[in-house]
Each structure stands twice: as structure tokens, then as C-alpha cells.
Amino acid sequence: MILKPQLKDAKIIGYYLGKVILGLAFTMLLPALLAVAKAEIGPALDFFTSFEISLILGLLLTWACFVEVELNWMQGMIVVSLSWLVAMALGAIPLYLSGHWKSFLDACFDSMSGFATTGLTLAQDLDHLSFAHNLWRHLIMFIGGQGIVIIAISFFVKGFSGAFKMYVGEARDEKILPNVLQTSRFIWLVSITYLVLGTLALGAAGISGGMRPFNAFFHGACVFMAAFDTGGFAPQSQNILYYHSMIFEIITVAIMVLGAINFKLHYHIWMGNRKEIIRNIEMVTLFITIGATFLITAAGLAQANVYPGAVALFRKGFYQLISGHTGTGFQTIYAAQFNLEWSHLALTGVISAMALGGAVCSTTGAIKMLRVGIIFKALAEDIKRIILPEKAIVVQKFHHIKTMFLDDKQVRAALFITLAYIALYGLGTLVGVYYGYPFLNSLFESTSAAANVGLSCGITQAGMPAALKVTYIFQMWAGRLEFMSVFTLIGFFIAVVKGK
Amino acid sequence: MKRLKLPVNIILGICIEVAYALAIILTAFLICLMFYFKR
């Protein structure tokens, strides 16, 4: 029997949702201040308007739904899934007001793409977007990469128990430190440390490439936020191709890989457990899968004789591959080149890389390395059972911070999420094929959306069908949250209708 | 968290992580060279 949710549940959900909205509202002040500093009057008004709407909504919810009760698991999951939808709508307001998006749906698409660190965009005339709007596009990636509720936990949520449920709901099942507040703050410490280093490195590369210092560091900060949070937006419409710099590309590759590392692993390495980087199952699996998928891609590109030189193969072939594997979505080629120049084998290599993703508890999407590693270990265990004598006891171990025995529960959980992702990739592919796009292109774009990558072979444009936009928005949302909080929200609505 | 505040550990940690990223880049470049010389 399903129990009908009570008014009390709605109040608790509303109260915590209000806290998350308040956190989001205050982040809008950053681009507003930049707009004032750069004398961008229109953009400043866009952001102050959006700030006021978000602030009023957040205050109204926290006032009307005021409770002093901690969240239970169901409420925590629903707060998270609703937070991302509300953040999408509120984050889209300044984008829509800028006039660079053809409709509010297009602005919502980019907003969800930003928060979910995907990087697919429907923006028009991106090269003439204001500094403030550009900062906002990249800032929402930085916020979404760490997790929208991480902000609320860091500054607005007092109870640790409720905070932990929201933290888990945001696809972060690994607690780095015993206290979830310390965990959130550590995530910010890593991100801010790399933000400073990455911005300096990219800024210096920009200046050496002839950019003016302010522009170089502004682009450096934006590109860093998109790279470390494996987002994929860039300030210019040509994405990373705009910079025409191998140094810039190598720095962004390094930042993308750093962004694909588990925050828990960052913690242990920063604590002095440096050998973990070569022992950890995720790091080993990431190394192997990058090598394997790049071999497929490079073979496909060599077969089609697309890039005759080793450097060109590296800068074009490997760059798109690593961008896809880490879930970033930076491009150094035009979308049309995937269709016109790349062979099907090369595209298959990139699609496989996109589907796999980076580490769990990182900013990447997709199936993720821990699950891939566990599935391979389980497969190896089964093969050993067949090969070895029947009486032999087969035990499989893996190393993730500590050495653990592989058990059926872990394998089942890994397989469940993997199957859910495959179904999500299939959903977007079916809708794409329904609207007349070729199968491989539909699979490419659908995987890119659901795995929160952002590489595009040209389907994503303002003129694509609205139903496909909505499908991709759903894929980005469900893919980022790793299903559980999305399923809980669906279950909640079913309980509202059918519950007793 | 106390040990974490030691800047040496943090700097060495960052160096190790960057080295891992560079190892991936180097491996990829070697694969590119392999395909180039195979032609």
C-alpha cells in the first residue's frame, strides 16, 4: 500500500527548497556586480531582476513553510530533484532577458545544460554576449559541478542529518569527511584552489597568445570553470578552437582530467596518501578506458585519413575523445566535421568514451569508472569460476581508498545504474530517430546529453523540435542526478494520486 | 583536516594529480605517433 504524502511533507520540502533558492539567488549577485563594474546596464538589470525574483521566492517558501524538522530520505531526494528544476527555471531568467535565446525553453535548455555540466547550447550570437551573462553561464557550471545543494549545505542548512540526505540525493554517495558540512567545504577547497591555479595558467597562455590581460584572465576563469566542472561552455562560439593554441589545449586537457577525479581521492592524495593514484580502481580503469577508446577513435580517423600528422591527430582526435570521456564537451573542431570528416568507427570510439564518463563523486556524468571497474572485476570473477576447479574458492578484491572484497550487492548496484544509463541513452536516440535524424548522430547527441558531455554533431540547434529539447533537458537532469532522486520524485507524484 | 592544512601535502598532491594527467596526455601522444609511423 502506498501512503499518501501529508501536508507536513510538502511544508518540509518547501522549506528546504526555499533555502536552496536563497543560495542560488545570492550567486546571481556576482554577475550583477561584474555588469556594474563593466558598465553593462542592460545585463545588470537582467541580473538584479532575476536576483529579486529568486530572493522573493526563496523568502516566501522559507517563511510560509517554516519548520524545525530534519528531512527524511524521501523528502531529501525530492528537495534535490525539485531544486534542479527550479534552478533551471530561475537560472534561465537572466539568459532569456539578454535576448540571445530565441525562447524561454531555449534559455531553460542552456540553464539545465549549465547546471548539469553538459555544455550543449542553443545561444544565438554568442560572440557578442555580455561579460556578465558569459560569467553566469560558466558560474552555473561551477555551481552545478559541485552540486546546487552543496551551496545550501555550506551556508544555509544547519542540521547534519537533513544535509546528508540532500548530499546523497545529488549523486554523491561517498562522504569524504565524517561530517557532511566539512565534506562540502572540502569540495569547495579543492575547486577554489584549482580555480586560482587554472585561471592563472590559462590567463598566462591567453596573454602569450596575444589577448589583452583582462580578457585573458576572464576567459581563463570561464574556461577553467567549464573544464574543471567538466561542463563544456566557452565564451566564444568556436569553443576552444577560438584560441588556436596547443598550450591552451594541453592545459585544458589536464584540467578536464583533474575534474574527472573523485573528490574523495583528491582528499586522500592531499592528505599524503599519494600512492592511491596508481592503486585506485577508478584511476586504473580511467587510464585503460581512455587508451582503449582512443585506439578505436584513432583507428577510425587513420582509416579515413582525416588527420595525416601525429600532432593533428592528437589536437583534433584525442582532444574530442578526452573531452567526451571526462564529460566536458570542449571542441576544437566544428560540429559538422563529425559528420563530414569523421568515420563511423571514430564516432563510435567517442560515443563509447562519452558513455563511460569519469570517477564517481566527481563533477562528471555517465556510468562512471567505479561501476565499470566493478563490472569488469565481477566478469573476471565469473570467468575464474568457470576455469578453476569446482572446489576452488574464488575471491575478487578491488582497491578504492581501501582494499575491499567484491560482493553481489556492489555488482547489482553498479549494473542497475549502468542499465539505467543505457536506457536513458536509448530514449534520446529513439526520439532523435523519430524526428528523422540518422541513427548514429541521434545516438551521439543523446549520449552527449544524458552523460552530461556536451559534444555536438550538429543536432542541437535552436531549430530542432521542441520535444527533442525537452527530452534532452530530461536526460541532462536525470543523468546528472543518477536517477534515484528522479525516481523518488516520480514515486512521490504517484503517491499523491494513488496513495491512501 | 589539520594535516590537510600543511601546504607541502597539498602541493605534492596537486603535483601527483597533474602528473597523472600528463601521463594520459603522453600515452595519447605515443598512440598518435604509433599511427603516424604505421602509415
Task: Look at residue A303 in the predicted model and tell me its pLDDT.
Answer: 87
Query: A254 and B39: CB-CB below 8 Å?
Result: no
**CA-to-CA separations, A280 to A265, A266, A399, B4, B16, in angstroms, rounded:** 8, 12, 5, 20, 14
CB A88 within 8 A of CB A66: no
Please name the member of B18, B31, B35 whose beta carbon is closest to the beta carbon of A254: B18
Task: Tell me the per-residue pLDDT of A329-383, one tens digit each, with 9 for 90 and over.
Answer: 899 999 999 988 999 999 999 999 999 999 988 888 889 999 999 999 999 988 9
Q: What's the pLDDT tens digit per position in A168-187?
A: 666 566 666 666 777 777 88
Contacts of B29 in chain A (CB under 8 A): 310, 314, 318
Angle of CA points A376, A380, A384, to nearest 5°? 170
Q: What percent of chain A is modeled with pLDDT above 70?
A: 93
Look up residue A13 and give its three cell numbers: 520540502
How many angstroms away from the CA of A180 is the closest CA of chain B?
13
Alpha-carbon distance of A85 to A15, in angstroms, equals 16
Phi then psi for A398, rounded to 5 degrees?
A: -145, 160
Using 50, 70 and 90 to split pLDDT, how confident is the model at A468? very high
Q: Across the strands, what pairs with A405?
A: A397
Stretch A65-82: mean pLDDT: 82
Q: What is the pLDDT of residue A154?
A: 61
Beta pairing partners, A397 = A405
Residue type present at position A387: I
Cβ–Cβ gap B12/A274 under 8 Å: yes
- Judged by CB atoms closer than 8 Å, whether chains meet at B27 and A266 is answered as no
CB within 8 Å: B32 and A298:
yes
Residue A159, pLDDT score: 58
Which residues of chain A neighbour B36 with C-beta distances below 8 Å? 309-310, 313
Q: For testing the chain A interface, which of B27, B36, B38, B39 should be mutated: the one with the most A CBs within 10 Å?
A: B36
Using a CB–CB cut-off of 8 Å, the residues of A that contact B are 177, 182, 186, 193-194, 197, 250, 253-254, 257-258, 261, 266-267, 269-272, 274, 277, 283, 287, 290-291, 294-295, 298-299, 302, 308-311, 313-314, 317-318, 321-322
Residue A18 CA, distance from chain mean position:
23
List pLDDT tens digits, range A284-324.
999 999 999 999 999 999 988 888 888 999 999 999 999 99
Q: Which of B18, B20, B29 sits opposite A314 (nearest CB)?
A: B29
Look at residue B21 in the predicted model and tell me its pLDDT. 95
Grid cell locating A401: 581508498
**Mean pLDDT throughout A145-170?**
65
- Contact by Cβ (8 Å): A364, A260: yes
How far apart, in whole angstroms, are the C-alpha atoms of residue A496 and residue A477? 22
Pick the residue of A230, A313, A316 with the most B CBs within 10 A to test the interface with B by mutation.
Answer: A313
Query: pTM for the full model?
Result: 0.91
Please indicate whether residue A394 or residue A135 has the higher confidence score (pLDDT). Answer: A135
| Buried residues in A44-59 as b, exposed as e (16+ CB within 10 A) | bebbbebbebbbebbe
- pLDDT given at position B1: 52
What number is the average pLDDT over the span A5-11?
Answer: 81
Q: State chain A's mean pLDDT as an integer.
A: 89
Contact A253 B18 (CB under 8 A): no
Q: Do B32 and A311 count as a contact with CB atoms less than 8 A apart?
A: yes
A2-9, long-range: CB < 8 A, 24+ apart: A2/A494, A2/A495, A2/A498, A2/A499, A2/A500, A3/A495, A3/A499, A3/A500, A4/A495, A4/A496, A4/A499, A4/A500, A5/A492, A5/A495, A5/A496, A5/A499, A8/A67, A8/A69, A9/A74, A9/A75
Mean of the pLDDT values across residues A36-64?
A: 94
User: Does residue A44 surpass a pLDDT of 80?
Assistant: yes
* Per-residue pLDDT tens over the stretch A418-436: 999 999 999 999 999 999 9
- The single-letter DSSP state of residue A40 is -
Cell of A232: 563544456
ipTM of the complex in this document: 0.89
Nearest CA distance, B32 vs chain A (angstrom): 5
CA separation for the pair A100, A400 (Å, rounded): 45
Say what the pLDDT of residue A152 is.
Answer: 64
3-state helix, strand, coil split of chain B in percent (to 5) is 90, 0, 10
H helices, E strands: number in chain B: 1, 0
Give chain B's end-to-end CA distance (angstroms, integer): 53
The C-alpha cell 511544508 sits at: A11
* pLDDT at A25 (0 to 100): 92
Return the residue matching grid coordinates 592511491. Answer: A276
Q: For A220-269, how does the pLDDT look when each residue is reduced to its tens digit (9 = 90+)?
A: 999 998 898 888 888 998 999 999 999 999 999 999 999 999 888 988 89
- What pLDDT, in 10s, does the model give residues B1-39? 555 556 888 889 999 999 999 999 999 999 999 988 876
**Residue-level pLDDT at A483:** 83
For testing the chain B interface, which of A192, A257, A289, A294 should be mutated: the one with the most B CBs within 10 Å?
A: A257
By C-alpha distance, the chain B residue nearest A269 is B13
Question: What is the model's pLDDT at position A469?
Answer: 95
Task: Write down the pLDDT at residue A395.
Answer: 85
CA distance B11 to chain A (A): 8
Chosen for mutation from A186, A193, A251, A271 (greatest number of chain B CBs closer than 10 Å) is A271
